[in-house]
Amino acid sequence: MTTLTWAAEAPETTLPLLRAVAAADGRPELGDDLPGGFRGGEHLTADLDGTPVAYAHLDTAGDAFGRQVVELFVHPDHRRRGIGTAIARAVLDRAAPGARFWSHGDHPGAAAIAAGLGLAKVRELLVMRRALGAGDLPEPAWPEGVTARTFEPGRDEDAVIAVNKAAFDWHPEQGALTVTDLVATEGEPWFDPAGFFLAVDARDRVLGFHWTKVHPDGEGEVYVVGVDPAAQGGGLGKALTLVGLHHLEAAGRPSVLLYVESDNHPAVAVYTRLGFARSAADVQWA
């Protein structure tokens, strides 16, 4: 018998279940604890005769537009038994109208559940990759009067967040980033200010930034590239992307990935010209 239980915190059994899911699917990316995005909100666990078989996290705070967001995982040994549909239906019954369900890797099982529940694909986030180490990266071409330097913790947070808010006022997650969030991220093991580049003018005013990341497996990431809308149109985004790629290549990273909205055609075009190709996609259903 399957039992569904809501809780204010994720039970201790959640992390082992997610590790089994990650071993089968390659996602979610896990460290020693649950991902930060799974803190807060509400947690739903499905137990089959006392064995945890599925887990869902309902982010009740929602994205930058107030839409609640769901992460749902079914243990690989208990799929195709209706458990995913049951837990998804329970989340829909509890969530606010318009809640969005992530499917990382556009999993066919998730698509089948979504179809059965009458959900539609409302967002596609491309994962693009390219190899590094071939020496084929062009040098950054900076607009006149613009130079690059690295981020200084305790000094640059306000300026970066101001640019971020202007650049990503349309984005469901990035647009909600605050100074408090940035400072908290500076305490994460992967944070490295030497890989966080700022484009500044002659007065040291921040015009844009490229925040890189390195994953536990050594792969680099174009984590965020943001340019003040007032400084767009002069190739600043491309230059910032390149300075980060050169940094990752010089550090010996074998490859680099990035995430970009599939309907952000100008950005997809820039990344394609820089040698990136689609490798996967994460989608949202609602």
**124 in a structural domain:** no
Section 134-144 average pLDDT = 95
Measured CA distances, 90 to 45, 67, 86, 96, 244 (Å):
11, 17, 6, 12, 43
Residue with tokens 């890989």, as numbered in its chain: 195
- 207, 247: one domain: yes
- 169, 271: one domain: yes
Structural domain that includes position 20: 2-119
The three-point CA angle 64-181-150 to 5° equals: 115
* Residue 201 assigned to a binding site: no
**247 in a structural domain:** yes
Section 238-265 average pLDDT = 97
**286 in a structural domain:** no
* Residue 221 assigned to a binding site: yes
* Residue 80 assigned to a binding site: yes
Boundary of a domain, candidates 67, 91, 119: 119
- 136, 276: one domain: yes
* Residue 82 assigned to a binding site: yes
Provide the angle, in degrees to the nearest 10, between the axes of the packed helices 265-273 and 236-250.
40
pLDDT grade, residue 233 (50/70/90)? confident
- 158, 258: one domain: yes
- 96, 177: one domain: no
* Residue 238 assigned to a binding site: yes
**Kind plus residue range of the DSSP H or E element containing 281:** strand 277-285
* Residue 237 assigned to a binding site: yes
> At a CB cut-off of 8 Å and minimum separation 6, what does 255 contact?
129, 130, 131, 132, 219, 220
Number of domains comprising the chain = 2
Name the residue type at position 30.
Answer: L
Boundary of a domain, candidates 119, 148, 164: 119
* Residue 68 assigned to a binding site: no
Boundary of a domain, candidates 94, 119, 144: 119
pLDDT tens per residue, range 60-74: 999 999 999 999 999
Section 177-201 average pLDDT = 96
pLDDT tens per residue, range 154-173: 999 999 999 999 999 999 99
- 136, 220: one domain: yes
Give the distance, in angstroms, between the CA of residue 146 and the centroid of all CA atoms in the same chain: 29
* Residue 84 assigned to a binding site: yes
* Residue 225 assigned to a binding site: yes
Section 261-279 average pLDDT = 95
Beta strands in 118-262 (DSSP E): 121-131, 147-150, 196-200, 206-214, 220-227, 255-261
Collapse the DSSP code of 63 into the 3-class scheme (helix H, G, I; strand E, B; otherwise coil) and give the result.
coil
- 71, 162: one domain: no
* Residue 227 assigned to a binding site: yes
Q: pLDDT averaged over the chain?
A: 95
pLDDT grade, residue 195 (50/70/90)? very high
User: Is the predicted pLDDT of residue 35 greater than 90, yes or no?
Assistant: no
* Residue 26 assigned to a binding site: no
